[in-house]
Amino acid sequence: MTDDFRARVEAAKGKTTSVRVADSKKQMDKKPEILLIETRLRENVPLSEQADNVVFMSVEDLDAAAEDSSNLDPRLSDPNVQIITT
């Protein structure tokens, strides 16, 4: 991970609100358009924790997407979509 990416992550943390897992689950059940970015590998996530509104993306992929967003999940292109990260 580059230092520049880490600096952007830290800056973003200062502009976001933390949410408890139980609360995020309730939000996602109520509004299925909310996306969850899951940084664990899909194969490491139990099927019971996978859902249609989960985007699996490693931290390395996030870092790369900061430079080139052409390979991002198209659902992430909408600036109005609420996103929860792990």
Query: What's the pLDDT tens digit per position in 33-82?
Result: 999 988 888 999 999 888 899 999 888 888 788 788 888 888 988 889 99
> What's the whole-number average pLDDT of the chain?
85
3-13 vs 59-67: helix axis angle to the nearest 10?
Answer: 100
Q: Which pLDDT value is given to residue 39?
A: 86
- Cα 14-17-21 angle, rounded to 5 deg: 130
Predicted model pTM: 0.73
pLDDT band (50, 70, 90) for residue 1: low
* Close Cβ partners of 37 (under 8 Å, ≥ 6 residues apart): 54, 55, 57, 62, 76, 83, 84, 85, 86
